[in-house]
Amino acid sequence: MSQVVKLLRDLIALPSVNNAFLPPGDPHAGEELVADYLKNRARKAGLEIETQATNSGRDNLIVRLKPLGQATHRIILAPHMDTVGGDLDKIFRPTKKGERLHGRGACDTKGSVAVMFHAMEHLAKRHRPTNTEIVFIGFVDEECNQTGSRAFSKLKLKANLALVGEPTRCRVVAAHKGDLWLRLSTRGKAAHGARPELGRNAVHTMAKCIDAIETEYAQNLGKRRHPVLGPPTINTGIVRGGSQPNIVPDICEADMDRRTLPGESFKTISREIGEVLKKRGLKARLANVKGYTCPAMETDPTLPMVQQFMRTVRQMKPLGVDYYCDAANIATTGVPAIVWGPGDIAQAHTADEWISIRQLERGMDVLTRFLLSLP
């Protein structure tokens, strides 16, 4: 069994479920066990260790590999340490089945943690760069509010490239969609259920609003196409209205998931939806549920360091993905960010999460060769 596989087994066995998915005080919650394990390995490898506080109350882990000479380049390796939950009696037992390693976080994203951290260890012990500083950042809270990458972006650390760990099957992703959670609210007038004509039913109004959004507005979105991301989308996920059957509801709310393209914002989207509803004589309020932005990300694939990494991967053109991740927050600082890592997003968050061992080892080979090629 290779060293990177052994490292991943150890990481899977350390619970790091995002605190949002478990009750307060649950021993399986938080990234601390993973961070402490990596700190111990970092000390043995002679790496510099820092932590960074975040709004989640948990700390990012920052590990630096200093070059032999003056640092003229910097590369950031940025996976996240938290996972989603599941059957807590089973998911932290790493199990090898053929050419697969099973367990929570195997692909999302402890596989990336293992590859990126072990590549740093390898260079620290045998091939320390001459002029390139390599910075590993183990983010907290990616699976909920991305407080880890949001806090890190405030450091405004300059770098030539950031590799953000996500399961891309070791393919380079240079663009991803943004994510905006919208809350649509309609108001009516309460009345007795026996005399509905005396009230105004907010649920009825909401039904008309949803119909307008899921038909006319969604069709308009389908006409917009990004070269690698495709069209933006909208989905109505939750509807809440009324308190009991014999009361005409005076309020109704619908929560919607709007996947955005580069350049779109809550302001522009709010205006678009407002115009569609106005055409049908409908009134509703629209709010940003999270209160912060999860923007789309697009990195210029012709940048020299991006091209160098793509040559190492042997990929001609970068891809785009429809999910949101920490890369966007890093990109807001001006650092070119790409998404890359072993594993397939199709296995992420599943009851039986797994990663291909062959792909894990390929990821280790690709990243090591890339880091060795740096000045």
Domain ranges of the chain: 3-176+296-372, 178-288
CATH of domain 178-288: 3.30.70.360
Instruction: Give just the sign of the alpha carbon dihedral 60, 65, 70, 75.
Output: negative
Give the per-residue pLDDT at 293: 85
CA–CA gap between residue 298 and residue 281 (Å, rounded)? 37
- Give bridge partners of residue 238 from the DSSP assignment: 255
Does 371 score more than 90 pLDDT? yes
Q: What is the mean pLDDT of residues 58-75?
A: 98
Q: How many CB atoms lie within 10 A of CB 305?
A: 17
In angstroms and rounded to an integer, the radius of gyration of the C-alpha atoms of the chain is: 23
Counting beta carbons within 10 angstroms of the beta carbon of residue 261, is it exposed (0 to 12), middle (13 to 18) or buried (19 or more)? Answer: buried
Return the DSSP state at 230: B
DSSP string, 146-212: -HHHHHHHTT----SEEEEE--BTT--EEEE-EEEEEEEEEE-B--BTT-GGGSB-HHHHHHHHHHH
3-class secondary structure per residue, 45-67: CCCEEEEEECCCCCEEEEEEECC
**DSSP secondary-structure letter at 104?**
T
| pLDDT-derived band at 274, boundaries 50, 70, 90 | very high
Give residue 24's identity as a one-letter amino acid code. P
Q: What is the pLDDT of residues 314-323, one digit of tens each?
A: 999 999 999 9
Chain-wide mean pLDDT for the chain? Answer: 97
Query: Of 57, 78, 74, nearest to 65 (Cα)?
Result: 74
Q: Is the pLDDT of residue 207 over 90?
A: yes
**Predicted local distance difference test score (pLDDT) of residue 251:** 98
Q: Could you tell me the pLDDT band of residue 158, with boundaries at 50, 70 and 90?
A: very high
With a pLDDT cut of 90, the percent of the chain lying above it is 99
**Looking at the predicted structure, is the pLDDT value of residue 1 above 90?**
no
Mean pLDDT of 289-302: 94
For residue 142, is pLDDT > 90?
Answer: yes
| pLDDT tens digits, one per residue of 106-119 | 999 999 999 999 99
Mind listing the pLDDT tens digit for each residue in 75-99? 999 999 999 999 999 999 999 999 9
Nearest to 365 by CA among 174, 170, 135: 170
Average pLDDT over residues 292-308: 96
Helix (H) or strand (E) run with residue 287 in it: strand 285-288
- The CATH class that applies to domain 3-176+296-372 reads alpha beta
> What percent of the chain is predicted at pLDDT more than 70?
100
pTM listed for this prediction:
0.93
End-to-end CA gap in the chain: 31
